[in-house]
Amino acid sequence: FHDSSVIPDGAEISSYLFRDTPKRYFFVVEEDNTPLAVTVTPCDAPLEWKLSVQELPEEASGEGSEPLEQQKQQITNEEGTELFSYKGNDVEYFVSSSSPSGLYQLDLLSTEKDTHFKVYATTTPESDQPYPELPYDPRIDVTSLGRTTVTLAWKPSPTASLLKQPIQYCIVINKEHNFKSLCAVEAKLGSDDAFMLAPKPGLDFSPFDFAHFGFPSDSNSGKERAFLKSSSKFGRQPSSRPRVDLHKVCVGNKNIFTVSDLKPDTQYYFDMFAVNTDTNMSTAYVGTFARTKEEAKQKTVELKDGKVTDVFIKRKGAKFLRFAPVSSHQKVTFSVHSCLDAVPIQVRRDGKLLLSQNVEGVRQFQLRGKAKAKYLIRLKGSKKGASVLKILATTRPNKQSFPSLPEDTRIKAFDKLRTCSSVTVAWLGTQERNKFCIYKREVDDSYSEEQKKREQNQCLGPDTRKKSEKVLCKYFHSQNIQKAVTTETIRGLQPGKSYLLDVYVIGHGGQSVKYQSKLVKTRKFC
C-alpha cells in the first residue's frame, strides 16, 4: 500500500481508508496550462472525494525550491478552490486540458466501512493512456442462452486492436450484482481473507494485524513483517467464512466466450474487464445479466394399483412416478426390478421422505399407509448409461408380481462334468415355488465378458428368445433355504463350442427375471 501522502505523476497507487477517517493526498502542478487527469477507483465501498487546488507559495517554483513536504506544511491548513467532488462507487475521474499551477489536494472519505481504493494522477494524459480504452459500444451481448450455459460476446478494446497493446479480457460471473471495477471484484474475492478484517484504530492494534494485511508496524517493521507473513498462526483463518460465490475467468484476447456449468433457472450477472497485462490496469465494460433456461418440466407417470409399469431413464436423467391409491390402505408395497445397473430410488409420501436407497435386481419395499396419501417416486439414471426398470405399486399385500430371487443369481458350471456334448449347471432357488426355464445359445469363441455384460438386461423374458434355444422348464422350491438348489445337464451340444446359458424365473403374475448369464464350453476331445 502507498503510505506517502504525495501522489506520484503517472503511476496508480493503492491505499486504505478506515471508516469515517478522512485521508488527504497532494499533487504538484509546476506550470500553468498543464493537462491534468485524476482517476479514483473505489474498491468495495462508496467513497466521497473532492479535488481542490491552492496557489503555490511564490518561492516554491524554480531552482532550489523548498521540498514539497515543507510547502505542504505551510499551506495544509488553508482551504483551496474546489475543482470537482463525487460521492458513490463508480470509477470517476477529473480531466482538464489546461490546469493552473498549484498544489492539488485530494480528500477521500469512506462513511460505510473500512475499504481500499486506487488513485491515478497524470499531467500527460494523452501520451499515458494507462487504462484500456472502451469500444464505441461497450456493452456485453448475450448471444445464446441454455439451461447451464450462457455465451457472451463483446467488441474489442481499441487499445488492443489499434494501438496493439497487450490486452486480455477477464469475465466475472456472480449471482448478486454487477461490479464497477476489477478492484471491487478482487475485494469481494478476498473478503473472506483476514485482509478485510482491518482493526479499528485504538481498539485492536497489534503489529500482528498490521503485518497480516500489508501495513508495516512501527517497531522493527521490515524484519517483523517478513517473519509474520511466513507464520500462519498469527493470521486469522480465512476458512471460517463461507466462500464467495463469484468466479473470474481471463480468456486472453478472445471476443466471445461460453460460460458453462451454471444452474438452470438462475439469474447471473456478467461483467467484463479489459486488462493491460503490462500495467495491470483495467477498464470495465457495461455489465449485463441473464437468467438461464428452466429444466425441461418432468412429466410424472401415474402408477395404477397392481399393474407393472416399464420405465426408461436416460443416462444421468431422472423420472418421476406418482401413486395415488383410490381406497384407504394399511400398507403400500413397491416392487422394483432394475434391469441393468443399480438405480437410486426415493419415495415421498405427501412430501415427506420415506425411503432413499439404491436398487439392484429385484427389491420390495413395504411402507405404512395413510388415508388419501399420495406417493411420489423419483428414479435417477446411472452415470454409465441408460437405465431400464419395471415397477409395481399396490395396496394389496398378497399381490406379488415379481418372483422372489435368492441372494446369489449366478449359474454355476461343473468343470469336471463337462463332456464333448453336454454341460452340467446348478442355480439357487427360494422357499417360494416358481417356474424356471433354461435357454442356450451358441456363440463365437471371441464372445467376451464385455459382450455378455451388454446383454445383461434382466427384464428381457423368455418371450424374446427363439423356440430352438429353449432347453426345458421346471418347477422347484425348498422350505429349507440351504437345500433350494437345482442342477441340470444340457445335452446335444457340439464338441469344442461355446454356449451362453440363461435361466429365467417366472412369477405367478407372469413377470420373469433373468439370472446372470453363464458362458460355458464343451470339451473338444473326449
Count of C-beta atoms within a 10 Å radius of residue 76: 13
One-letter amino acid of 296: A
User: What's the confidence (pLDDT) of residue 464?
Assistant: 87
Quick one: CA torsion of 72, 75, 77, 79, rounded to 10 degrees?
-110
User: Which string of DSSP letters, residue by residue, matches 50-65?
Assistant: EEEEEPPPGGGSSTTP
CA distances from 163 to 83, 132, 187, 238, 521 (A): 32, 10, 30, 42, 77
One-letter amino acid of 116: H
Q: Is 365 exposed, middle or buried (0-12, 13-18, 19+ CB in 10 A)?
A: middle
- Cβ neighbours of residue 50 closer than 8 Å, sequence gap 6 or more: 82, 84, 85, 86, 106, 107
User: What's the confidence (pLDDT) of residue 61?
Assistant: 46
CA distance linking residue 220 with residue 414, whole number of Å: 85
- Tell me the pLDDT tens digit for each residue of 357-382: 998 888 888 888 888 889 999 998 88
Dihedral pair phi/psi, residue 45, rounded to 5°: -150, 150
- Tell me the pLDDT tens digit for each residue of 118-131: 999 998 887 777 88
CA distance linking residue 34 with residue 30, whole number of Å: 8
User: What's the confidence (pLDDT) of residue 486?
Assistant: 93
CA distance linking residue 21 with residue 115, whole number of Å: 11
- Tell me the pLDDT tens digit for each residue of 299-308: 888 999 888 8
CA distance linking residue 304 with residue 99, whole number of Å: 86
Residues of the chain with pLDDT under 50: 60-65, 192-242
Is the separation of the CB atoms in 170 and 140 below 8 Å? no
- Cβ neighbours of residue 150 closer than 8 Å, sequence gap 6 or more: 142, 144, 258, 259, 262, 268, 270, 290, 292
Count of C-beta atoms within a 10 Å radius of residue 299: 7
Look up residue 478 and give its DSSP letter: -
- Cβ neighbours of residue 382 closer than 8 Å, sequence gap 6 or more: 315, 316, 340, 341, 342, 343
Is the separation of the CB atoms in 160 and 274 below 8 Å? yes
Please name each of the domains of the chain with its CATH number.
11-56+81-128 (2.60.120.680), 130-195+244-296 (2.60.40.10), 301-394 (2.60.120.680), 411-521 (2.60.40.10)
CA distance linking residue 290 with residue 307, whole number of Å: 45
CA distances from 374 to 328, 331, 340, 393 (A): 11, 13, 28, 12
